[in-house]
Chains A and B, each alone.
Chain A
Amino acid sequence: MSEGMLKNGISAGRLEPGQYARNFSDLHPPLDKHEAFVEADRCYFCFDAPCMNACPTSIDIPLFIREISTDNPLGAAETIFEQNILGGMCARVCPTEQLCEEACVREEAEGKPVKIGQLQRYATDIAMEENAQFFTRAPSSGKTVAVVGAGPAGLAAAHRLSMHGHDVVIYDARPKAGGLNEYGIASYKTPDGFAQAEVDYVTAIGGIEISLGQRLGGDLTLDGLMGTHDAVFLGIGLGGVNALRAEGEQTAGDGLTDAVDFIAELRQSDDLSKLPVGRRVVVIGGGMTAIDAAVQSKLLGAEDVTICYRRGQENMNASGFEQELAAAKGVTIRHWLQPKRVLSENGKVTGIELEYTQLKDGRLVGMGHTLTLPADQVFKAIGQTLDDETAAGLELRGGRIAVDDEGRTSRPGIWAGGDCIDKGDDLTVTAVAQGRDAAESIHRYLSGN
């Protein structure tokens, strides 16, 4: 055990220097060629394959796996990218066990689905390493489209729009493109600068300009964009974080942190040994963000990490695989606990008081009994919200931008997709599908069809 792990409070350098690289290496090492062949051979090449129907981007999975099995990885990659130009990232971060792999007939047959995500990564890695480009731009339409947000939805939309001959400018508030792929996903899921490599791969089609440091609601306005572009696509994600609504939240001081900020900081850190983390960490929430923050806290050397979720395990948004991963890394997951009070002394968090909960007549209610967990650091991971000013003037539904089936907002000429809209799961793959489909709709609009 490293000395650093025993440092009280929030501290950097909890681990031996060499341990960081080991902890944050690739979660799933890529399949080598033989492993890919063996795995590909398990695919039954189903008729009207259930996996394909379960994929939000409808990748022709049996076909790409068959292409892998015949040593045609570039053909496989093309099959993937035709439907999902971010197939490389999705291969890493998709909750496949809830999507394609859950639908795989081998899951029903023997509880061991074909490793579709791993195979997708095998093919897309080869294509991206070779920078094999499968798409070319149609002759210029003379139209320009503004894409706001360089995350999965925006990139997918930009690529498809460029393919159709439109010029695209992507605006993003952050210093790097990639959105949540760059700032919001645990490091071990996408190490080695993959998110940036993917941005380069997607934009290599040409006709896509990326303008960074441009925040919608600041210098950038919808009216302004509408004046300079023929159409606008918003893939702005969710910029706000929900409050805990617990006593002491405002005065907690150091140690009460948004999980998304922690994850972003970690992703951008070039020396993890300098990144501080609490000795005792509590994460409030039940989704992927909670898991990512908890697991990475543990990997940074936190001694004790607990996730507290206000409902039961069956309600957690984090997939079963993610929950098991957290448990395997030593994270404790506790259910039926909601935050009541953040405890602090001298401007530093010392713990959190939680109230037990239960369902009564279908409603979640506090039971009055409480539990106090000592903590140096408390992460809020209870969901994100749309930053209101970014979508000024657009109709909202359930706190998100309302769109129709084609991704059209209430304002003509403006489309939206990804986490910021009121449709679909908050997944990378869903965002890609929405960006792509909105681009098709924009193309029809710009072509006068």
Chain B
Amino acid sequence: MADIRNNFVGIKSPNPFWLASAPPTDKAYNVERAFKAGWGGVVWKTLGEEGPPVVNVNGPRYGAIWGADRRLLGLNNIELITDRQLQLNLQEIKQVKKNWPDRALVVSIMVPCDEESWKAILPLVEETEADGIELNFGCPHGMSERGMGSAVGQVPEYVEMVVRWCKQYSRMPVITKLTPNISDIRKPARAAKNGGTDAVSLINTINSITAVNLDTFSPEPSIDGRGSHGGYCGPAVKPIALSMVSEIARDPETLGLPISGIGGVTTWRDAAEFLALGAGNVQVCTAAMTYGFKIVEEMISGLSNWMDEKGHASLDDFTGRAVRNVTDWQFLNLNYITKARINQDLCIKCGRCHIACEDTSHQAISKTKDGKRHFEVLEDECVGCNLCVNVCPVEDCIEMIALEPGMLDQRTKKVVEPTYANWTTHPNNPMRKDPAVEPAE
């Protein structure tokens, strides 16, 4: 049986599935339920400074997009940080941690971007004996208008400065939560590292408007006829999150910096992918908000079974294994040549591959054979683009087959080379480097 115990910057949890700082972790009632359901840890919903708490809108806080059968694909929210009294939250955190010593309990914090504010709240949190803190530099809505959240996360200098204060005034592990609403995610990650952070977590939510009401012309969610951009999350953002996690994981300047992966994690498979791309654990929110806390049972079981099947004894065995395979486009092997192949036994003859290729790509799929409806790849036209695979409604019906070295590519009439060759040395590249004259390192 695979060991899925997790140790993230010294914070131990029985599994790598944490609930992210969000509505599900706003109070003891929810967090207790989450721990009973089996979650390995939670990041308590963001605390603000002492004083009257923030207020939320009293209309809709969430918008969504859906797939077939109203399956929720993307959620956005305009909820702010906790709107409960600081002291109440602190008391509950302390009690919950006492009740659940084996679970990770990290506290998210967001206070104004000045030293005094941070200096004031850190000891209060430390007193709860929580396992660590997460700095909310990510929320893109509401708090950012007050100079907090993503307003801080978008300025690497501020990130570094605040992290430094936290490390200076607290002995707790510091996780810096990053906003994806920035053009290069590596910059704030480097800044956090320079400030001394123990880890980064990402992504926070993405600026978004989920829909426009075409009767009222109000963005959704609509508050009395008007809307504001909210933070987008859920399965739809996972590809963005995976890419950003991988960028930090492979950046030489942040090499080895622990990452807590967040963004659309819905199943064990999503979690395994984040871990493979260098995340030390994952945080989940939308999936729990859609289906309830019970989903963690599937995550634990699925991850364990996959690890057993693959022979991974512990999480460390596969964590980061995909990082080395993330590269720049210019280093991709141009001698790797694939052709689509349609399995005629599985084909249901919907013709989508044909029309997609015919209308929008390379005219490489024929539609009839001997006067009958029949779809087949024309190898002399196929560029191996994979569009047909992606639009085919039948799994595994169309496969991309790699040509073996020595075979003839019917499209280019060239023999497939056994060697690796990329754009940096390609004759068409005006900036190519001639390997022969390149100085030896």
Contacts and interface: CB of A to CB of B under 8 A. Distances in A.
A105 to B, nearest CB: 4
B100 to A, nearest CB: 41
Interface in B391-406: 393-394
A389 interface: no
B355 interface: yes
B69 A46 contact: no
Nearest to A34: B70
A193 B351 CA distance: 41
A109 B348 contact: yes
A44 B69 CA distance: 15
Interface string A40-52: 0110111111100
Contact of B393 (A38, A44, A47, A48): A44
A115 interface: no
Main SS at interface, chain A: helix
A38 B352 CA distance: 20
B269 interface: no
Contacts of B351: 46-49
Interface string B57-69: 0000000000011
Contacts of B167: none
B349 to A, nearest CB: 6
A44 B353 CA distance: 11
B69 A105 contact: no
B354 interface: yes
Interface string B318-360: 0000000000000000000000000000001111101100000
Contact of B348 (A45, A48, A108): A108
Contacts of A37: 70
A279 B348 CA distance: 49
B367 interface: yes
Contacts of A108: 348-349
A109 B348 CA distance: 6
B352 A109 contact: no
B69 A41 contact: yes
Interface footprint category on B:
10 to 19
Contacts of B373: 48, 50
B348 A47 contact: no
The binding surface of chain B is classed by DSSP as mixed
A106 interface: yes
Contact of B394 (A41, A47, A109): A109
A321 to B, nearest CB: 22
A105 B348 CA distance: 6
A47 B365 CA distance: 12
Nearest to B354: A47
A45 B393 CA distance: 11
Contacts of B68: 38, 41-42
Nearest to B351: A47
B352 A50 contact: no
A2 B91 CA distance: 70
Contacts of B69: 38, 41
A47 B70 CA distance: 26
A108 to B, nearest CB: 5
Contacts of B393: 44, 109
B69 to A, nearest CB: 5
A47 B393 CA distance: 13
Contacts of A49: 351
B232 to A, nearest CB: 22
Nearest to B392: A44
Contacts of B367: 47-48
Given A38-B68, A109-B394, A44 B349 contact: no
A38 B70 CA distance: 8
The residue among A47, A105, A106 with the most chain B CB atoms within 10 A of its own CB is A47
A36 B350 CA distance: 21
A74 to B, nearest CB: 15
A432 B424 CA distance: 65
Contacts of B348: 105-106, 108-109
Nearest to B397: A109
Contacts of B349: 46, 50, 105, 108
Contacts of A47: 350-352, 354-355, 367
Contacts of A45: 352
B398 to A, nearest CB: 14
Nearest to A53: B373
A62 to B, nearest CB: 10
A47 B368 CA distance: 12
A46 B348 CA distance: 10
Contacts of A50: 349, 373
Interface string A95-133: 000000000011011000000000000000000000000
A48 to B, nearest CB: 6
A108 B349 CA distance: 9
B387 to A, nearest CB: 14
A36 to B, nearest CB: 12
Interface string B366-379: 01000001000000
A39 to B, nearest CB: 10
A285 B73 CA distance: 54
B354 to A, nearest CB: 5
A44 B70 contact: no
A68 to B, nearest CB: 13
Nearest to A108: B348
A48 B365 CA distance: 14
A105 B350 CA distance: 6
Contacts of A106: 348
Residue of A44, A50, A106 most packed against chain B (CB within 10 A): A44
Which among B70, B351, B355 has the greatest number of chain A C-beta atoms within 10 A? B351
Interface string B30-72: 0000000000000000000000000000000000000011100
A41 B69 CA distance: 8
Contacts of A48: 351, 367, 373
Interface centre among B68, B350, B354, B367 (most CB of A within 10 A): B350
A273 to B, nearest CB: 43
A44 B394 CA distance: 11
A44 B350 CA distance: 7
B1 to A, nearest CB: 36
Interface in A19-45: 34, 37-38, 41-42, 44-45
Contacts of A42: 68
A108 B354 CA distance: 18
A275 to B, nearest CB: 43
A49 B348 CA distance: 12
Which one of A37, A50, A106, A109 has the greatest number of beta carbons of chain B within 10 Å? A109
Nearest to A41: B68
A358 B54 CA distance: 87
Contacts of B352: 44-47
A108 B346 CA distance: 10
A34 B71 CA distance: 12
19 contacts: A38-B68, A44-B393, A46-B349, A46-B351, A47-B350, A47-B351, A47-B352, A47-B354, A47-B355, A47-B367, A49-B351, A50-B349, A50-B373, A105-B348, A105-B350, A106-B348, A108-B348, A109-B348, A109-B394
The 6 closest A-B pairs by CB, nearest first: A47-B351, A47-B355, A41-B68, A109-B348, A105-B348, A46-B350
Interface of B: 68-70, 348-352, 354-355, 367, 373, 393-394
Given A46-B352, A109-B394, 15 more contacts: A34-B70, A37-B70, A38-B68, A38-B69, A41-B68, A42-B68, A44-B350, A45-B352, A46-B349, A46-B351, A47-B351, A48-B351, A48-B373, A106-B348, A108-B349
